[in-house]
Structure 1
Amino acid sequence: MSTVLVIGAGGVSSVCVHKMAMNKDIFSDIHLASRTRRKCDAIAASVKECTGVDIATYEIDAEEVPAMVNLIRQVKPSLVVNLALPYQDLPIMDACLEAGVNYLDTANYEPKDEAKFEYSWQWAYHDRFKQAGIMALLGSGFDPGVTSVFTMWLKKHKLKTIRTLDILDCNGGDHGQHFATNFNPEINIREVTAPARHWENGEFVETPAMAKKVEFDFEAVGPKNMYMMYHEELESLAKFNPEMERARFWMTFGDQYITHLTVLQNVGMTSIEPIKYKGVEIIPLQFLAAVLPKPETLGETTKGNTNIGCIATGEALDGSGEKTFYIKNICSHEAAYEETGNQAVSYTTGVPAMIGSAMMVQGIWTGVGVFNMEEMDPDPFMDMLNKHGLPWTVEELPGPVEF
């Protein structure tokens, strides 16, 4: 039984808080804070209606460290769950350090003024968290998060070493909009428009954004075009699996999405460079995000499935030579909405955030310092995925899959 403080009030937060309330034996007291309190109140009202559990709400600017410290000391949580924006990671970690409280997030730090995803800023906190006797767990979403755990489960149970790894993220849902993103538009577009990077022969290789496209037939979705891009778990997976020869991340996008994004990029709407408009300084991408449909509003209209998994090839644990395994989860947008009022992209991140929190508050995953998901025992996390809405399957493929 424990008290948790969740920061952020988007779709992922809504799913996480709903799932926490469904597990009252683990989370006895849930608090929710964001810059806009009415969003917290809306989530709290939905949770109350669905589960009967009361959620306390607060208004907070997560970038104001003294205010965050005061709130943490007021709530007295055993864990702060950061489901805000990636560029707020460091201020929230600073607040947790000052207040002496454990920390969890779902995405690595990214500076506001540069689309640069890497763990170095957060890894630099390791000694300070260790000296404070507290734990930070990074990337407890789906990708990063579940994909990292999938990989380490294969390495624990199927493969002695991993030679090649491909992470495949397919959203086969249709929300009926001309153009919308299924998670925070600002972060989504920054990720997609950044140069692609993949791990090969001991270093990262950079290629132009969206330059490599292949078709793949996804179970419960069908054939989809997927594009190689950079995603932060490649950095941690390479660090904790130094034998890997190659690791890549792929994400599916429909032709309509690509067409809209190309036009928006060509006219400067995806830029993060400030401009002046009628004497007011604005950032085009933030303005675009403000006028696009909010991800948390897409649940009711989104139909179809997500299919996210890992294909790993390496030396078999039983000494039978090289083998290839495909481990994945398929999630229904309709089922996710029925359970939590959110679409599956929010669901597949919010549920792992709840499970990672459960691992920490129950003392199943412990440590002092800053940790990635790859450093933890995958088995209890994998068990909870099956029990809490994200069941997974694993199959042996006839041989390596070449894209």
Structure 2
Amino acid sequence: MSKVLVIGAGGVSSVCVHKMAMNSEIFPEIHLASRTRSKCDAIAASVKTRTGQSIETYEIDAEEVPAMVNLIKKIGADLVVNLALPYQDLPIMDACLETGVHYIDTANYEPKDEAKFEYKWQWAYHDRFKEAGLMALLGSGFDPGVTSVFTMWLKKHKLKTIRTLDILDCNGGDHGQAFATNFNPEINIREVTAPARHWENGEWVETPAMQVKTEFDFEAVGPKNAYLMYHEELESLSKFNPEMERARFWMTFGDEYIKHLTVLQNVGMTSIEPVRYQGKEIIPLQFLAAVLPKPESLGETTKGNTNIGCIATGEALDGSGEKTFYINNICSHEAAYEETGNQAVSYTTGVPAMIGTAMMVTGKWSGKGVFNIEEMDPDPFMDMLNAHGLPWQVKELDGPVQF
């Protein structure tokens, strides 16, 4: 797999491509395409300045399967790295099947007309990829991605079983904006405003969005309010760990973010239902996303740290009874910007996208079919996290954390 085609030109893609170029022995040939070629050209120019590596760029509408097929064939790509919007997952997977190339992404498919994050659409591709002798790797970002690998590393090295799991995502950075999102605004707001769901005793428990919160003291950040949300790795982790009694996902938000989001919801700006304006149909959320600051523009002004990790309680591997472990990564916004020109939220997703791709390119991870990242051996991925900018730490806690 010597030729890699990356789709998308946002902050995550920028980080991923920079990190690929920094590892040219694994990625000797990188191609970058998106709907707006000028964005690809800007990333390629930055990569050239920072690493000396050259990247070929292209314009593509990833939802147009024939165009994707033609581009993949033109390049002779071996693997497609999908860092575009989740709506485009299935068309890109279709193009990979038609051209006989492998596939990797960071976020599961989501239909445009419904804020519903589920793996069922992509899992349905398993037999087709298997029969074609191809591998599709799902969810190689941070969450999903690193948090999934963290969980399985604990299960491999510390815990025989996992009884309860809490994933904690804290962005302690300050970008100086009244209201902005640190990744694609449309996807971010759809996630946040969707009903919260968590896994408990073999079923999904649903609660209103942003209604359940707790306070947690995050290292290198401080005490923050964390809100219960649904996140797609809960679906796959509960599937591959059937013994799990409860799995929850928490994300921190500041009071200003909550205040602005509440107002935007109340006036209908977060709606994904079409409305007519001056004779045209528009989606309010898409219009809002267009006027908000672009996530990739926040790198220079964002200061502080992210702290993302998992707290798992279960039966210890050594037979010493029930134990609780906390495994996490702390990432500096300033350090991420200095290295790649992007803030830490993009960095913490873009680096794992590069690492997951490296696992496939080097053959450390292989298979035929569609796989979630937690089905793979966590150890080589964890080693690369330490070596490529996302060092992790694990410690035993006195007991389960009460949220």
Shift of 1:186: 0.1
Shift of 1:2: 1.3
Distance in 2 (alpha carbons) for counterparts of 1:267 and 1:3: 47
Distance in 1 (alpha carbons) for counterparts of 2:314 and 2:2: 41
Q: Deviations over 1:215-254 (max 9, x none)?
A: 1000000000000000000000000000000000000000
Distance in 1 (alpha carbons) for counterparts of 2:319 and 2:373: 27
Q: Which residue of 2 aligns with 1:329?
A: 329
DSSP 3-state at the match of 2:249: strand
- Which deviates more from structure 2 when the two are superposed, residues 70-79 or residues 323-332? 70-79
DSSP 3-state at the match of 2:180: coil
Q: Which residue of 1 aligns with 2:398?
A: 398
Q: Which residue of 2 aligns with 1:142?
A: 142
Shift of 1:32: 0.1
DSSP 3-state at the match of 1:114: coil
- Given the alignment of the two structures, is residue 26 of structure 1 paired with residue 65 of structure 2, yes or no? no
DSSP 3-state at the match of 2:370: strand
DSSP 3-state at the match of 2:300: coil
- Given the alignment of the two structures, is residue 300 of structure 1 paired with residue 300 of structure 2, yes or no? yes
Distance in 2 (alpha carbons) for counterparts of 1:402 and 1:77: 49
Shift of 1:140: 0.1
**TM-score, with length taken from structure 2:** 1.00
Distance in 2 (alpha carbons) for counterparts of 1:374 and 1:67: 32
Which amino acid in the other structure matches residue 307 of structure 1?
A: N
Matches within 5 A, 1:30-179: 30-179=30-179
Which amino acid in the other structure matches residue 12 of structure 2?
A: V
Q: Which residue of 2 aligns with 1:342?
A: 342
Shift of 1:334: 0.1
Which amino acid in the other structure matches residue 77 of structure 1?
A: A
Q: Which residue of 1 aligns with 2:239?
A: 239
- Which deviates more from structure 2 when the two are superposed, residues 70-79 or residues 297-306? 70-79
Q: Deviations over 1:360-383 (max 9, x none)?
A: 011110000000011000000000
Shift of 1:280: 1.1
Matches within 5 A, 1:310-389: 310-389=310-389
Distance in 2 (alpha carbons) for counterparts of 1:239 and 1:308: 22
Q: Deviations over 1:303-327 (max 9, x none)?
A: 0000000000000000000000000
- Given the alignment of the two structures, is residue 205 of structure 1 paired with residue 205 of structure 2, yes or no? yes
Distance in 2 (alpha carbons) for counterparts of 1:96 and 1:53: 26
Distance in 1 (alpha carbons) for counterparts of 2:226 and 2:320: 32
- Given the alignment of the two structures, is residue 276 of structure 1 paired with residue 295 of structure 2, yes or no? no
Q: Which residue of 2 aligns with 1:262?
A: 262
> What RMSD in Å do the two structures reach over aligned CA positions?
0.5
Q: Which residue of 2 aligns with 1:15?
A: 15
Q: Which residue of 1 aligns with 2:221?
A: 221
Which amino acid in the other structure matches residue 162 of structure 1?
A: I
Shift of 1:106: 0.1
DSSP 3-state at the match of 1:27: coil
DSSP 3-state at the match of 2:28: strand
Distance in 2 (alpha carbons) for counterparts of 1:209 and 1:251: 12
Shift of 1:120: 0.1
Distance in 1 (alpha carbons) for counterparts of 2:240 and 2:201: 15
Distance in 1 (alpha carbons) for counterparts of 2:52 and 2:389: 20
Which amino acid in the other structure matches residue 230 of structure 1?
A: Y
Distance in 1 (alpha carbons) for counterparts of 2:21 and 2:280: 42
DSSP 3-state at the match of 1:385: helix
The number of aligned residues is 403
DSSP 3-state at the match of 1:244: coil
Distance in 2 (alpha carbons) for counterparts of 1:292 and 1:258: 16
Distance in 1 (alpha carbons) for counterparts of 2:356 and 2:313: 27
DSSP 3-state at the match of 1:128: helix
Distance in 1 (alpha carbons) for counterparts of 2:83 and 2:173: 23
DSSP 3-state at the match of 1:384: helix
In the TM superposition, structure 1's runs of 4+ consecutive aligned residues that sit over 3 Å from their partners are none
Distance in 2 (alpha carbons) for counterparts of 1:248 and 1:76: 42
DSSP 3-state at the match of 1:328: strand
Distance in 2 (alpha carbons) for counterparts of 1:95 and 1:203: 35
Shift of 1:36: 0.2
Shift of 1:402: 1.1
Which amino acid in the other structure matches residue 169 of structure 1?
A: D
Distance in 2 (alpha carbons) for counterparts of 1:61 and 1:213: 39
Runs (5+) with no aligned partner, structure 1: none
Q: Deviations over 1:312-349 (max 9, x none)?
A: 00000000000000000000000000000000000000
| Identity over aligned pairs, percent | 88
Shift of 1:76: 1.1
